[in-house]
Structure 1
Amino acid sequence: MSRNSIDYRPFEPPLPPGRARALPWASVLGASALTAVLPVVASLPLMPPLGLILLLTWRLLARFALRPWAAAPLGLFDDLVSGQPLGSAVLLWSLCFIAIEMIEQRLVFRDFWQDWLIASGAIAFCLAIGRWIALPLGAHVDTVLVAQIVIAVMLFPLSARLVAWIDRKRGAAA
């Protein structure tokens, strides 16, 4: 007897509304904290901004899961945990939300490739401007920055799968 691998339970009660609304926030906060806590020893700082990736994924895949103003407090938490200059993620993440809102006014329908392209541009923008804010211009980190951008962009499909799974577990109560 073969068991079906699809986990479909149509009569299972959804999460309570408060907990369902808190899951996107908790996942972004956890991803930001994971970047700082993960014991990675490397000669080059290639750790991608997991909080930013998850925030963009929530915004692009589940538009109403996070409020438009959510980027500011989540960016503040990321600044506090990551050690970036205070306010840099607040500004950059809010600008990304504004840019995504402007893109959504133009594009009525999007598919995954367009979401990936939008997220790639936002990730590259945040990392490049964040480097400009945090480091002196004479620092030679451009190749490391490009590698970090590539790693972060390649993690977007995995993040999309994770957000889709969490969103499915949230149920229709959100």
Structure 2
Amino acid sequence: MEQLDPRARSDIYGRRINRTSSPLRRRSVPYASIMLGSVLPVLLMADLMPLLPSLGFLMLLGWRMVRPGVLPLWAGAPLGAFDDLFSGQPFGSAILLWSLAMIAIELIETRFPWRDFWHDWFAASLLALTYWSAALVISGAPLTPEMFAVAAPQAALAVLLYPMIARLVAWLDRFRLSRARTID
């Protein structure tokens, strides 16, 4: 068996030790995924309202619940402004609601640091339903029973989508922290 030069052997294994991910990827993936989630419901639009719930808001909840330290507390304001541009809501509604949601999640994290997935799902569902009802009130549309009946599937879908959003956020977080492959 041929003996490798020690410097060549350390070079082979040295590339895998102390590897770091791309700083651009570490910083941009959470924001880009939330912004993409804000744009997607526009693609499936019914006559009056989108068929999907606010995926951007659900992605924000997912990132904040799955990876609490990634997004700063103030991130709700600029991401909410981006969502307001695409959602059709009055400008400033998502800024306010997303900022309040970030503060509420921060309070939940300080009060219950030992939470698990079920607590996160319950908290995200409660926040999503609160966001849904507040967005209906802020929209300026007449609040009739028919409006609630048409919008109720969005609320149910928001509650049911959170586990998939959390799984997607976990996958995106692994991608965010992975080392970019280099061609040798």
Could you say whether these structures have the same fold, taking a TM-score greater than 0.5 normalized by the shorter chain as the test?
A: yes
Identify unmatched segments of 5+ residues in structure 2: 1-15, 180-184
Select which of 38, 47, 52 maps to 2:52: 47
Residues 3-41 of structure 1 show CA distances to partners (whole Å, capped at 9, x for unaligned) of xxxxxxx769443123211110000001111122x2455
1:33–1:14 CA distance, 2 compared to 1 (3 A): farther
Whichever residue aligns with residue 103 of structure 1, its letter is I
Partner of 2:81: 76
Partner of 1:126: 131
TM norm structure 1? 0.85
Higher alpha-carbon Rg? 2
1:133-152 to 2 correspondences below 5 Å: 133-139=138-144, 140-152=146-158
Partner of 2:100: 95
Residues 64-93 of structure 1 show CA distances to partners (whole Å, capped at 9, x for unaligned) of 111110010000000001111000000001
Alignment partners' CA distance in 1, 2:71 and 2:143: 38
1:81–1:112 CA distance, 2 compared to 1 (3 A): same
Alignment partners' CA distance in 1, 2:50 and 2:95: 21
TM norm structure 2? 0.81
Task: Describe the SS at the equivalent of 1:117.
Answer: helix
* Bigger relative contact order, structure 1 or 2 (CA pairs below 8 A, ≥6 apart): 1
Alignment partners' CA distance in 1, 2:97 and 2:46: 27
Shift, 1:106, TM fit: 1.1
Partner of 1:163: 169
Partner of 2:9: none
Task: Describe the SS at the equivalent of 2:91.
Answer: coil
Select which of 108, 114, 117 maps to 2:119: 114
Identify unmatched segments of 5+ residues in structure 1: 1-9
Would the aligned equivalents of 1:45 and 1:144 in 2 still touch at CA under 8 Å?
no
Would the aligned equivalents of 1:14 and 1:169 in 2 still touch at CA under 8 Å?
no
- In the alignment of these two chains, the number of paired residues is 163
Would the aligned equivalents of 2:101 and 2:127 in 1 still touch at CA under 8 Å?
yes
| Ranges of 4+ aligned residues in structure 1 off by more than 6 Å | none
Shift, 1:105, TM fit: 1.4
1:12–1:81 CA distance, 2 compared to 1 (3 A): farther
CA RMSD of aligned residues (A): 2.2
